[in-house]
Amino acid sequence: MISVSKSVLRRKVAELLVVRASGHASDSEREHPLWELTNSQLERLLGEGVGGVILFGGSTSELRYRCQRLQGWAARPLLLCADAEEGLGQRFAGGTWLVPPLSLGKIFQKDSQAALKMAEHYGSCIGEQANRCGLNWILAPVCDVNSNPRNPVINLRAWGEDPITVSELVCAFHKGLSSKGVLSCAKHFPGHGDTEVDSHIDLPILGHNMSRLEELELVPFQSIIAAGVSSIMTGHLLINNIDPINPATLSTKIISNLLRGSLSFQGLVVTDALIMSAITKKFGPGEAAVMAFAAGADLIMMPESPDKAIDAIVDSLLKESIPLSRLEESLSRRRLALEGIKEVKCADSKEFFPPESLNFESISEKQFSKELINKSLEFRNPGKIKSTVSGINLLWIDSIFSSPLINSSAPAIYLPELAGFRSLICHPSGVSPWQDDPNSPLALDNIGHGPVLLQLFIRGRPFSGTAYRKEPWISAVKQLQRRELLDGLIVYGCPYLWFELLEALDESISAAYSPGQMPEAQSHAISSLFDSDCAKATLSLLMFKEFSD
C-alpha cells in the first residue's frame, strides 16, 4: 500500500511536467495563446510543484526577466528550456541566430576537423547565451540522420545525412554546450530522419527492423550517450517491427527495453510535446501522460492539460498500476540533472529589462555567425544583375507566421527595391503566384513583364506537412527563362530544392543558395548577385545600418 498522501504525491508528480510559456511578460503578448499558459495558470502550476517550463518568443532581455520571474513562482529549482537548435536568436530577438546544423554537415564532408571545431563553438555559443538569459536546458542536438530528402520536419535541423557525420558533429556540439554548464537533449529517439510525415500533424510509421536501426538511426544516439548527454527526447514514431501498437513515446519496448536496456542510457528521458497530433489524434491528455510515464519517460513535455496529466499519473500510482519506485527513479534523475546548475534569483519587479542586456550579443558571437553564413553560401554567376526600373522581386515564403524573416526592413525586400525591383510576396496563407489550376506554371501575366528576381524561402517546417510544397517551381523557372525574364534565383533553406532547380537553370543565370534564412544571410546572398555598382550601394547601406545598430 502507498503511504504517501495524495497531495504530497501530486506535488511529486507535478515535478515531472514541462509546460509551455511565452518569453513575453504579459499575457496579451503571447504569440501562441492556444499553447502558452497565462501568467495566472503558470503561477498556480509552478506553485503546485510543476518542475519545468519551455519558453518561446520575446527578446533576450525579456527572457532573462521571464526566467527569473518563473523561478520566483516555483516551489523548487526549475528546468528552464528552449527549443533553440539554431541559437537563441532563432526563438528570441537579440540572440545569435546560427545557420542550420545541416550546413555543418556539408562542411564536414569537405573538412571534418574544421566542421568539428565549428560544431563545438556552435554549442558553446548557445550555452553562453542560455546562461545570460537564465536557461539551463537546451533541447538540442537533433540526432536524427536526415536520410530522406523528402523529410518535412527534420530536414535542415539534422547535422547530416549519414550516421558518422551526425555522430561526430552532435558530440562536438554537446561538448561545447555542456562546457557552459547547460543541459543538452538528444532527439528524436529512436530516429525521425527517414519520415515523410510530420509528427506535428500525424503519426509517422516506419518499417525499420532492429538491424536497420543499429546500422543507421541508433548510431548517433549511441555516440552521444557515450559522450554523457544529459537527456534524450523520444519521437512520436511508430516503428512497427519493434512495437506495432504504441508510438515510441508511449512504448515500453522502445524506452525501457531499447533505450534504457540495450543502450544503457541512465539520464533523463523526456517526451516530445504531447500536444502534437501524432499523439492527440488517438490518446487523451491523461491517457498519453500515463502511458509515457509507464513506458519509462521521466519528464512529460507540454501535455494538453497539465492538471489532467498530473491527476491521471497520481491515480495510476495510487492504484499501483505503476509502482511508486518509477516515480522515485524519475525524480532522482531530475535532481541529478539539476546538480551544479545555479538557481536563478527571483526578479525584482523594478528590474524589468536589465541594462546590460542591451549589448546581449558579443562581437565574437556576431563574427562566428557571419563566418558560418559565408562558409555555407553557394553562388553561380555572381555580380551580373543590374539595376532596372521595371523589375519584379518575387518572394515565396513557406510560412508567413513562423519568424521575423520578412518585414519592411528585411534585406530580401529593401535591397532589391534599391535596384528597381518591385516586391511581390507570396505565401500559403495569402497571395499565391499560381493560377487556379495548382499544376499551372507561374502566372506571369499577373506580375508584369520586367526582369524577375525569384527568392524562395523554403525549408522543412513543423505543421507545414511537406518539406517543400508541390508548387511547380521547376516549371516556373523554365517558363521565366523561355521568356527571358529570369534575372536571378535565390533559395534560402532546403538544399534538395536548390539541387533540383540548378538542373533546370540556364548556366548564364545568376543564382545563390543559403541554408540560413536570417537577415544577415539575405544580405550576403543578394549583394553577391548584383553588379559592382549595385553591390557598392548595397555595401554602403549595410555598413551604415550595422554602424547605426
Map residue 127 onto helix, strand or coil: helix
Which residue type occupies 198?
D
Are 474 and 466 in contact by the 8 Å Cβ rule? The answer is no
The CA-atom distances, in angstroms, between 119 and each of 198, 246, 369 are: 26, 35, 12
* Residue 513 β-bridge partners: 378, 491
Report the C-alpha gap between 98 and 310 in whole angstroms. Answer: 37
Are 313 and 290 in contact by the 8 Å Cβ rule? The answer is yes
Question: What is the 3-state secondary structure of 11-70?
Answer: HHHHCCEEEEEECCCCHHHCCCCCCCCCHHHHHHHHHCCCCEEEEECCEHHHHHHHHHHH
Report the C-alpha gap between 314 and 421 in whole angstroms. Answer: 62
Report the C-alpha gap between 174 and 186 in whole angstroms. Answer: 9
Identified catalytic residue from 144, 243, 272, 298: 272
Which residue type occupies 357?
S
Starting from the edge strand earliest in sequence, which strands make up the sheet with 185-189, in order?
185-189, 231-234, 268-270
Report the C-alpha gap between 516 and 411 in whole angstroms. Answer: 13
Residue 120 in grid coordinates: 563545438
Q: How many CA atoms lie within 13 A of 391 on its CB side?
A: 24
Clarify whether 144 is annotated catalytic: no
Contacts of 463 (CB under 8 A, 6+ apart): 198, 200, 201, 399
**Measured CA angle at 89 (ends 87, 95), to 5 deg:** 100
CA 499, distance to chain mean position in Å, is 23
Neighbours of 332 (CB within 10 A): 11
H or E segment and range at residue 109: helix 101-110
User: Which residue is listed with cell 559592382?
Assistant: 532
Helices (H), 227-356: 252, 277-280, 285-295, 306-318, 324-338
Pairing relationship of beta strands 510-514 and 378-380 according to DSSP bridges: antiparallel
Map residue 8 onto helix, strand or coil: helix
Mind giving me the DSSP string for 377-412? -EEESTT-B---SSEEEEEEES-TTSSTTSSTT-HH
Residues identified as active-site: 272
